[in-house]
Homo-oligomer: A and B are copies of this chain.
Amino acid sequence: MSPIPGLQRVGLLGGGVIGGGWAARFLLNGVDVQLFDPDPEAPRKIGEVLANARRATTKLVMPSLPPEGVLRFVSTPEEAATGVDFVQESAPERLELKQDLLRRASTAAGPDVVFGSSTSGLLPSLLQEGMRFPERLVVGHPFNPVYLLPLVEVCGGAVTSVAAADRAVAVYESLGMHPLRLAKEIDGFVADRLMEALWREALWLVNDGVATAEEIDDAIRFGAGLRWSFMGTFLVYRVAGGEAGMRHFMAQFGPTLHWPWTKLMDVPELTDELLDRLVAQSDDQAAGRSIRELEVLRDDCLIAVMQGLRTVGFGAGEVLDRYERQLFGRSPAPAVILGGGPIRIHECTVPTEWVDYNGHTNDSRYMQLSSEAGDRFLRHIGMDAAYLESGRSFFTVESHINYLAQSTAGDRLYVTIQLISHDEKRMRLFTAMHRADDDSMVATAEHMMLHVDTRLDRASPTDPLILDRLAVIGAQHDLLALPAQAGRAIGQRRDA
C-alpha cells in the first residue's frame, strides 16, 4: 500500500542508468514497480543503482522513508503497463524503438494512465504517434542521478492534454522532484540545449589544446558552477550588474557577445585523435577512481550541496524541504496497538556508519534512535506538517540514557515508548531499545519534552486534540510500573 494517494504501482520501460534511477525514486517512495528491459543484465544493474539510491536517499532526508515498494521484472512492455497508475519510458534514444515501446504499452494501460518519456531530446509530438490515447504522452526528462537531482522537464506534444501534463507534474512532485513545465516543444528542450552549448565549447578547447578536461572542469567547479547550483545565469548576472540592474549589465556585457569568445560556426570533428585525447585526459582526471567510487563521491557532494541549500531555504534546498515535509506528513501515523503496555513505535537495522572504534553502535546513536522514536510518537498523537506549519512543536529539554548492552551493524532493533506523565505543556517519555532477535534491552532513554510556540520561542499549551490522545494513552500507561532506569541521576548507585 503506497503512501502516495493514487500512485500504488508504476510501469517502467527500460532499466538503464536513467530507468534504474526512476525505479529507485519510485521504490524508495513506497511505490511498486513493474519493469520491462530485455537486457539480461538489467536486474544486476538496477540492483546496483538501487543500492546507491537507498544509501543516498536515507542520507539526504531526515524523516524515515516509507516501506520500500516491490520491484518486479516483466517480460513485455504490455505486462509492464498492466494495472499501473503511471508509466515512465527510459529506453535508448532511438525514435522508432521508443515509439514501438510506447505504442505497445499504451494498448495495455488503462485509458487514464499517463505516460512520461525520459527522452533527452526527441519531440513528444513524434513520440506520441501511434499510441492508443496519444494525448496522455508527455516528456518527463530527468537528470542523472535521477534519484537525487530534482529537475524534470515536462513538455507536451501536439496532442498532449493539459490534464496529462498536470498528472505528470503531480507524480513527479510526489517523488520530491521539481517539474519544470515547458511551454514550447523544441529539440533538446531547455536544459540539454544549455549543457550542449557549454559542452561543445569545452570540446573545442580540448581540440585546440587550450586546456585539458581537468582544467576545463576546474574552470567550472571553482567558479560559475558554484553559483549555478542555486542561481541560474540570468539572476547571477542581474546581481553582478549591481545597483544599476539588468539593463546596465546588458549594456556593459551585451557587446561581448560579438567578440570572438566562442567557436560559433562549427562543431569539432570527433576524430580518433580527439577521442583518444579526451579519453586519456578523462582517465588522468579520474586518477584511478572507479565509476562506483565516483558515483558515491558525486552523490555525497550532491547531498551536501542540497542539504547546505536547505539551511538557506533556496533553490534545491527549498525542494528538499518540501519533500521532507511531504514524507513527514505521509508517513502513516504508526500503526499502534494500545494493549496497555509500552507502545512498539519504531524499528531499524543498525547501519554501518553507526559503529565506532569499539566495534559497537556508538553511544550517541541510541540517542538518535530514541529521538526518532519520539518523533514517531509525536506523529502518532497528531503532530503533523500542518501542526508544525501553525508554529507549534515539541522541543526536548532534557534527556537521560542508560546503555545496557551492545549492538552492531546489521542488528535489528526496535523501540518501545511509555508515557510517564504529561500536563498541558510538558510530556515525560521513556523509550526502551530492544534487540529484535531475543527482545533483550540494549538501552533506555528518558526525555522531557516541552510544547513550544516556535514563533515566540516559548512554552505554550498543547492543542486539545493532542491532549485528548495523550489522555487515552496516559490512562493506560499510568497503570504501568515506573521503569527501573526512569528518574535516575548520574552518580546514583546502579541498584538504587
Contacts and interface: CB of A to CB of B under 8 A. Distances in A.
A198 B194 contact: yes
A302 interface: yes
B231 A228 contact: no
Contact of A446 (B191, B278, B393, B490): B490
Interface in A370-400: 370-371, 388, 393, 395-400
Interface in A100-126: 120-121
A373 to B, nearest CB: 11
Contact of A312 (B191, B216, B300, B324): B300
Interface in A474-496: 486-492
27 contacts: A17-B240, A121-B259, A149-B222, A191-B219, A202-B234, A203-B257, A216-B233, A216-B234, A219-B232, A221-B315, A225-B230, A239-B295, A243-B291, A254-B270, A264-B265, A264-B267, A297-B314, A301-B309, A301-B312, A304-B309, A325-B357, A363-B396, A367-B367, A398-B400, A398-B403, A447-B490, A448-B491
A385 to B, nearest CB: 8
Contacts of A308: 301, 304-305, 307-309, 352, 409
A359 B295 CA distance: 30
Given A308-B352, A395-B358, A401-B398, A194 B222 contact: no
Contacts of A238: 282, 285-286, 291, 294
Interface in A336-372: 351-353, 355-360, 362-364, 367-368, 370-371
A76 interface: no
A227, A267, A315: which has the most chain B beta carbons within 10 Å? A227
Number of identical monomers bound together in the oligomeric complex: 2
B180 A222 contact: yes
Interface stretch (A24-32, A80-88, A244-252): A244-252
Nearest to A205: B190
Nearest to A223: B151
A270 B250 contact: yes
| Max chain B Cβ within 10 angstroms of own Cβ: one of A219, A220, A316 | A220
A307 B247 CA distance: 33
**Count class of interface residues, chain A:** 35 or more
Interface stretch (A5-13, A65-73, A131-139, A181-189): A181-189
Nearest 5 A-B pairs (CB), nearest first? Answer: A217-B232, A308-B308, A225-B228, A151-B223, A304-B308
A454 interface: yes
A219 B153 contact: yes
B304 A490 contact: no
Interface string A255-277: 01111111011110010000100
Interface stretch (A161-169, A206-214, A464-472): A206-214
Given A262-B197, A305-B309, A247 B203 contact: no
A195 interface: yes
Given A62-B357, A190-B215, A285-B234, A315 B294 contact: no
B239 A219 contact: no
Contacts of A189: 219
A319 B226 CA distance: 13
A226 B146 CA distance: 13
Contacts of A245: 279, 282, 291
B235 A285 contact: yes
A278 B447 CA distance: 56
A132 B285 CA distance: 40
Contacts of A309: 301, 304-305, 308
A221 B226 contact: no
